[in-house]
A and B are shown apart, each in its own frame.
Chain A
């Protein structure tokens, strides 16, 4: 039982390049999330998927797209990376009950030059 896994752990991009961050969970959770964390800004929600087949915007969705590939996998795509997207990205999942908590992946540290 690996919990929430993310790939890659580190990535350096040039401005304008594209990439996809991958996330998978093996806890049979319905809801999955993508956050970014910047110094002094806490965790900001980019997109979330309350259940397979649905996605919703969070606080900072501009410049990102997501795909809920199946119940296990939720990917985040940067179509044209910008330096402002330099951040640490965390994926999380949440169980089906209102009292469940989020479980986080180890994070992806992305630098856009």
Chain B
């Protein structure tokens, strides 16, 4: 079992719709969870971080964390073509916050 799992996609949504990206992780002791966006040929950039159960909203983005189910998600409201990218889920290890494991990423395509 991979430590961090994501559906590779592509996930296609029409412009203006809600995109829902999901991630599961295996380490029950993980404390910190991140969503990164990566455009083709570029380095990952952080868009959301979440540390406690529940929802965290930032503009059009909402991160949701459920530690009991070992599940973290990212919702993108009013999706725009500029949101088309690969979204990477990252989780810190219970052995130390310094060790970060990434999922393989979900490719999102927003159709105009």
Shortest Cβ distance from A44 into B: residue: B102
The interface bits of chain B over 37-81 (1 if a CB of A lies within 8 angstroms of the residue's CB, else 0) are 000001111100101000000000000000000000000000000
Q: Chain B interface residue count: which class?
A: 20 to 34
- The residue on A at minimum CB distance from B92 is A98
The stretch of A19-27, A63-71, A79-87, A99-107 in contact with B is A99-107
With a 10 A CB-CB cut-off, give which of B45, B51, B97, B103 has the most chain A CB atoms.
B97
Residue in A30, A42, A48, A105 whose CB lies within 8 Å of B99? A48
Cβ of B45: which chain A residues have Cβ within 8 Å of it?
Answer: 104
With A98-B31, A104-B44, A107-B43 given, is the CB distance from A45 to B99 under 8 Å?
yes
Contact residues of B with A, CB < 8 Å?
6, 8, 31-32, 34, 42-46, 49, 51, 88, 90, 92, 96-105
Q: Which residues of B contact A43 (CB under 8 A)?
A: 44, 88, 102
Tell me if A2 is interfacial: C-beta within 8 Å of chain B.
no
Contact A105 B105 (CB under 8 A): no
Q: Is the CB of B105 within 8 A of A42?
A: yes
Distance in angstroms from B95 CB to nearest chain A CB is 10
In the bound complex, how far is the Cα of B97 from the Cα of A87, in angstroms? 26
Chain A residues within CB distance 8 Å of chain B: 30-31, 33, 35, 40-45, 48, 50, 56, 58-59, 90, 94, 98-99, 101-107
Out of A30, A94, A99, name the residue touching B100 (CB < 8 Å). Answer: A94
Closest to A51 in B: B98
How far apart are the CA atoms of A50 and B108 in the complex, in Å? Answer: 33
A40 to B103, CA, bound (A): 10
Instruction: Report the minimal beta-carbon distance from A5 to chain B, rounded to whole angstroms.
Output: 11
